[in-house]
Amino acid sequence: MAQIHSYLTFNGNCGEAMNFYHDCLGGELSMQTIGASPMADKMPPHMKDCILHSMLKSGGIMLLGSDMVPETGLIRGNAVAMAITCSSEEELRRFYEKLSAGGDATHPLEQTFWGGIFGDLIDKYGNHWLLNYEEHPVN
């Protein structure tokens, strides 16, 4: 079965951001620097500590990241968001509180017309998150 995972690109602060997400979401985090990769000799020395690839796995969440900015540069926009469907109200509130720290709680958690609790935020790295919990989800 095919799956889609979020892959975030940073400009030199991927390690910091992925550690922040790990603190917020838990799970297992792995990171490979450019300097520790087979690409090390082909990259400028100032990039040796940059993250070539990182992966955070926490339950059903998989978040990937890198400092490998394309030649066009890093362009942030509002066309993409990470959406987390939480397994409990407690998990939802914990994730929201941690992810919004230092960022902008654009839409605080609230009861919705569809019977769930929903909120969204922009984290301190400029990434948009949508969080939802439904006690009795509609299939």
Of 69 and 27, the one with more pLDDT: 27
| pLDDT band for position 125 (cuts 50, 70, 90) | very high
Q: Is the overall model pTM greater than 0.75, yes or no? A: yes
| pLDDT score of 102 more than 70 | yes
C-alpha–C-alpha distance, residues 129 and 127, integer Å: 7
31-84: per-residue pLDDT in tens?
999 999 998 999 899 999 999 999 999 999 999 999 998 888 888 888 889 999
In 1-139 the beta strands, taken as DSSP E runs, fall at 6-9, 28-33, 51-58, 61-66, 82-85, 104-111, 116-122, 128-134
| pLDDT score of 137 more than 80 | no
Q: What is the mean pLDDT of residues 110-120?
A: 94
| pLDDT band for position 129 (cuts 50, 70, 90) | very high
| pLDDT band for position 85 (cuts 50, 70, 90) | very high
| pLDDT score of 108 more than 90 | yes
Residue 139: per-residue pLDDT: 58
Domains defined for the chain, CATH in brackets: 6-66 (3.10.180.10), 82-134 (3.30.720.110)
**DSSP string of 95-134, one letter each residue:** HHHHHHTTSEEEEEEEE-TTSEEEEEEE-TTS-EEEEEEE
Of 1 and 101, the one with more pLDDT: 101
- Average pLDDT value over all residues in the chain: 93
